[in-house]
Amino acid sequence: MKLKYCRKSAVSILAGFLILTITGISSAESLAGSKGDVRFPATRGSDPKSECNVAYKAYVAASGHSAYATTFYSRVVDLYIVCGSKLNAPSQKAAEEMALRNCQAGLTRWKLKTASGGCAISASK
8 occurs within a structural domain: no
Given a cut of 70, the residues of the chain with pLDDT beneath it are 1-28, 74-78
Residue 114 lies in a domain: yes
| pLDDT at site 26 | 40
Q: Distances from the Cα of 17 to the Cαs of 23, 24, 27, in angstroms?
A: 10, 11, 16
CB 59 within 8 A of CB 122: no
95: in domain: yes
Structure pTM? 0.74
Q: What is the pLDDT of residue 15?
A: 58
Burial degree of 52 (CB within 10 A; 0-12, 13-18, 19+): buried
Evaluate whether residue 55 is within a structural domain. Answer: yes
- Looking at the structure of the chain, the number of domains it has is 1
Q: Which pLDDT value is given to residue 80?
A: 82
